[in-house]
Amino acid sequence: MTDSSRNALARASSSYLRSAMHQPIQWREFGEEAFAAARSANKPMLLDIGAVWCHWCHVMDRESYDDAEVAAIVNEHYIAVKVDRDERPDIDSRYQAAVAALTGQGGWPLTAFLTPEGKPFYGGTYFPPADAYGRPSFKRVLLSIAQAYREKLGDVLEQAKMVESAISRAESPSEGGGTVSATVIEAIVESAEKMFDEVNGGFGGAPKFPHPAALDLVMEQYVRTKDEDLRAIFVHTLEKMARGGVYDQLAGGFHRYSVDERWIVPHFEKMCYDNSELLKNYVHAYQATGEEFFAEVARDIVRWMDEWLSDRAHGGFYASQDADDSMEDDGDYFTWTLAEAKAALSDEEAAAAAVYYDIQETGDMHHNPAKNVLHISAAGLAGGRGELLEAAKKKLYAARLQRPTPYVDKTVYAGWNAMCVSAYLEAARVLDLAHVRHFALRSLDRLLSEGWSEERGMKHVIAYSDPKAEPRKGADAVPGVVDDYAFTVIACLDAYEATADLSYFRFARSIGDAMVAGFLDPVGGGFFDTRTAGGSSNERTALGILGTRRKPFQDSPTPAGNSAAAIALLRLHFYAPDASYRERAEQTLEVYAGVAGQHGIFAATYGLAVARFMHPHAQVVVVGKDEVAAEMYRFAVRPLELSRAVLRLDGDKAVAQNLPPALAGTIPNLPALASGKSFAVVCSGFACQAPVFDARELAEALGRGAG
């Protein structure tokens, strides 16, 4: 293939964009060159936003963008721009809001039609090649929009103005402010109770997505209230998910969502951020219930992430694994016919696997009814899992590894990596997994060394997947959004609590201060998703509708940036005697206090932030190297208490300079407290109790702190 047959995406860094370099459409990247071309030619712009893991993006590529006739229409009438939504969440979020304002829904692929200035006036998601699914054919849409732009330009510009006004109001309620109150937690939890599917677990019907923040909030409320109805919600949901097809029964790890209400048939892509947050869910469920099943699933998620999404050489977590291995595939890598299962197993193993995983002659997939999604059947659950089944599982996985493997996007994103680091550290702490802790810290060290600098701030992309791509450097590097900062602050604080290495606290404080300086709205409160005018800026912030200010509030699909920022600031305040951290967190929560309850489970991270704000934070500092200290540490981390930090210091490290300012001021001379014996100190509200010397005394001290 010669360079002349490639479009401009051959120069892109993103794997998703580079995958379209050979399409006959003259794609450009989102940038000044594309906008200048549109203005010069007075043509509308066709904007396609997708992702390398997106099944329907691949379908539309195959059906339309690879088609010469479609390409001829696009190249004649439009300036075509393609965007990777993972690489540029700032572009995606704004044009998603625009298309939602036009049509009532968004999603991927996102297809938007823009004026030469980048203002959206029409859009949708997937358009079929022929009239189908109640949607017009893409060719008909392309020709109609081009004609409207030529003949009804006034109407087009008026529509664009209305859409821009609508997205400027999105997630920025003018009357949402109020006083932070625990009643919002009650409203969000009540929404979860109403949406709870008592039969299948989860919230709502098909398609069914996991909602990790909602599950964490339900668990947080359960441990405070001991309400058995709340326990039923998270226990039933997490059991059903882990036994369903939405969970990869062979390799571990969760697919993105289920197309049915029973968690059987998933969309097969697997995202690092879904698995990081679900990993925390299963660890927390183990803490809340003591049921080993949840710990087993947590370890299995780690197994998959270690094998498939971890850069073992350098540290860091990859972004995703695709659903399909080719344009013609639809989950075939992950699914099985009965004949395929029998070919991989002995007769006895095949019989056991068929019962346990519900492998039938007629399976679950519409495109190929013989294909089965492996899930644990009622009969299999009743029969249990013995050595025969364990052997069958290993053989099925080995056979699957011989199939063409769906693409792993090895791009390393800052915010998603920080989420994975936090999840790994949580699992390592509770389940005592030293290798998991080690890899998390290596990954965070890479994130900080390659992704952060005091002068430049956070980068959004730490490393790209495609080794042939030229990485964006300097001014061309994609700047971090508020999520990148907030999640990294949280990860650094988690790392400090895991290691007692004060350098991680210092990184957390520096990045948190940069987040406040670069993203805080000093007038209205809360955080914008991209840097304010006072922070660094380049042409990215001015093109199209990128100048529209957004304050992300709803979890979609990752925890919302403002809620995460509030949690980060509250946690910083517990370690640094700077009241401004808590004040800014409170101001951030106040922005949405009046409306958060109306958003139900999509405001769950906000609810978790309010819980941290309302309840006193506690620190347990365990000092010593012996088994007594180890037992006290295990006792302190074992229960689910999201507002409790547990530090362990060796005796020779227990000096003020190894503690952050708030703790150093309250317990300034730890070794002298205990005369060389191992001990623990419980602190809350910047005051500490007397030292205790075993787990029984620690239980009493924690009880006094709770009271």
Peptide bond preceding 207: is omega within 30 degrees of 0, i.e. cis?
Answer: yes
The verdict on 512 and 639 lying in the same domain is no
Which positions ≥6 away from 245 have C-beta within 8 Å? 255, 258, 263, 264, 265, 266, 364, 373, 374, 375
Crossing angle of helices 414-431 and 292-308, in 10° steps, is 140
The verdict on 68 and 32 lying in the same domain is yes
The verdict on 319 and 374 lying in the same domain is no
Report the percent of the chain where pLDDT is more than 90: 76
pLDDT, one tens digit per residue, over 671-683 is: 555 567 888 999 8
DSSP strands (E only) in 486-627:
618-623
Per-residue pLDDT for 620 more than 50? yes
User: Please, what's the largest Cα pairwise distance for the chain?
Assistant: 87
Tokens of 637: 């981390």
The verdict on 507 and 625 lying in the same domain is no
Which positions ≥6 away from 51 have C-beta within 8 Å? 16, 57, 84, 85, 86, 108, 320
Per-residue pLDDT for 308 more than 70? yes
**Residue 302 CB: number of other CB atoms within 10 A?**
26
Per-residue pLDDT for 468 more than 80? no
Cβ-contact 224, 279 below 8 angstroms: no
pLDDT attached to residue 475: 63
pLDDT attached to residue 1: 42
The verdict on 37 and 154 lying in the same domain is yes
178 falls within a domain: no
Crossing angle of helices 228-243 and 292-308, in 10° steps, is 40
Give the residue numbers spanning the domain of 365. Answer: 338-403
The verdict on 576 and 629 lying in the same domain is no
Please state whether 474 falls in left (phi above 0), alpha (psi between -120 and 50) or beta.
left
Closest CA to 479 of 428, 539, 410, 556: 539
The verdict on 445 and 593 lying in the same domain is yes
Per-residue pLDDT for 442 more than 60? yes
Question: What's the CA gap between 62 and 327, in Å, rounded?
Answer: 7
- Residue 49: which H helix or E strand, with range? strand 45-50
The verdict on 122 and 41 lying in the same domain is yes
409 bridge partner residues: 320
pLDDT, one tens digit per residue, over 475-484 is: 678 999 999 9
541 falls within a domain: no
Closest CA to 616 of 564, 669, 686, 675: 686
Question: What's the CA gap between 497 and 643, in Å, rounded?
Answer: 13
Cβ-contact 287, 640 below 8 angstroms: yes
Write the CATH number for 510: 1.50.10.10
Tokens 């997630």 found at: 171
Peptide bond preceding 557: is omega within 30 degrees of 0, i.e. cis?
Answer: yes
pLDDT, one tens digit per residue, over 532-580 is: 754 444 444 579 999 888 898 999 889 999 999 999 999 999 998 789 9
Give the pLDDT band (50/70/90) at residue 485.
very high
Which positions ≥6 away from 336 have C-beta within 8 Å? 359, 363, 371, 372, 374, 396
Give the pLDDT band (50/70/90) at residue 393.
very high
Write the CATH number for 627: 3.40.30
Give the pLDDT band (50/70/90) at residue 688.
confident
pLDDT, one tens digit per residue, over 57-82 is: 999 999 999 999 999 999 999 999 99
DSSP three-state, residue 372: strand
pLDDT, one tens digit per residue, over 633-675 is: 999 999 999 989 999 888 665 566 677 887 777 765 655 555 6
pLDDT attached to residue 539: 42
Question: What's the CA gap between 12 and 685, in Å, rounded?
Answer: 51
Closest CA to 655 of 640, 670, 673: 670
Question: What's the CA gap between 563 and 554, in Å, rounded?
Answer: 9
pLDDT attached to residue 131: 84
Name the CA radius of gyration of the chain, rounded: 26
182 falls within a domain: no
pLDDT, one tens digit per residue, over 92-132 is: 999 999 999 888 888 999 999 999 999 999 999 999 998 87
pLDDT attached to residue 536: 44
List the end-to-end C-alpha distance of the chain, in Å, as a whole number: 72
Indicate the average pLDDT of the chain: 91
For the residues 229-245, what does the mean pLDDT come to? 98
281 falls within a domain: yes
Per-residue pLDDT for 593 more than 90? yes
- The CA–CA distances, whole Å, from 277 to 444, 517, 601 equal 17, 28, 15
pLDDT, one tens digit per residue, over 185-211 is: 999 999 999 999 999 999 999 999 999
- Cα angle 266, 270, 276 (rounded to 5 degrees) comes to 120
Cβ-contact 230, 222 below 8 angstroms: yes
pLDDT attached to residue 472: 74
Question: What's the CA gap between 429 and 433, in Å, rounded?
Answer: 7
Query: What does residue 252 show for φ and ψ, rounded to 5 degrees?
Result: 90, 170
Last residue of a domain, one of 595, 614, 633: 614
Question: What's the CA gap between 123 and 671, in Å, rounded?
Answer: 66
Neighbour-count burial for 250-260, b at 16+ CB within 10 Å, e otherwise: bbbbbbbbbbb
The verdict on 379 and 236 lying in the same domain is no
Question: What's the CA gap between 17 and 65, in Å, rounded?
Answer: 13
pLDDT, one tens digit per residue, over 451-463 is: 999 999 999 999 9
The verdict on 122 and 74 lying in the same domain is yes
pLDDT attached to residue 537: 42
333 falls within a domain: no
Which positions ≥6 away from 552 have C-beta within 8 Å? 93, 171, 482, 483, 529, 560, 561, 562
pLDDT attached to residue 672: 54
Question: What's the CA gap between 391 and 136, in Å, rounded?
Answer: 50
The verdict on 8 and 104 lying in the same domain is yes
Closest CA to 497 of 388, 575, 597: 575
Per-residue pLDDT for 181 more than 90? yes
Number of structural domains in the chain: 4
pLDDT attached to residue 196: 98
522 falls within a domain: yes
pLDDT, one tens digit per residue, over 3-54 is: 567 999 999 999 999 999 999 999 999 999 999 999 999 999 999 999 999 9
Report the percent of the chain where pLDDT is more than 70: 94
Per-residue pLDDT for 221 more than 70? yes
pLDDT, one tens digit per residue, over 122-168 is: 999 999 998 877 778 999 999 999 999 999 999 999 998 888 777 76
Tokens 């994130």 found at: 447
202 falls within a domain: no
Per-residue pLDDT for 469 more than 70? yes
Range from 394-398, 439-443, 538-542, 666-670 carrying the lowest mean pLDDT = 538-542
pLDDT attached to residue 367: 84
Cβ-contact 241, 304 below 8 angstroms: no
Last residue of a domain, one of 386, 403, 420: 403
Task: Kindly report the length of the chain.
Answer: 707
**Residue 676 CB: number of other CB atoms within 10 A?**
9
The verdict on 568 and 443 lying in the same domain is yes
542 falls within a domain: no
Last residue of a domain, one of 367, 384, 403: 403
Amino acid letter, residue 526: G
Question: What's the CA gap between 528 and 547, in Å, rounded?
Answer: 11
Give the pLDDT band (50/70/90) at residue 269.
very high
Which positions ≥6 away from 411 have C-beta within 8 Å? 14, 15, 86, 87, 318, 319, 461, 463, 464, 465
Give the pLDDT band (50/70/90) at residue 171.
low
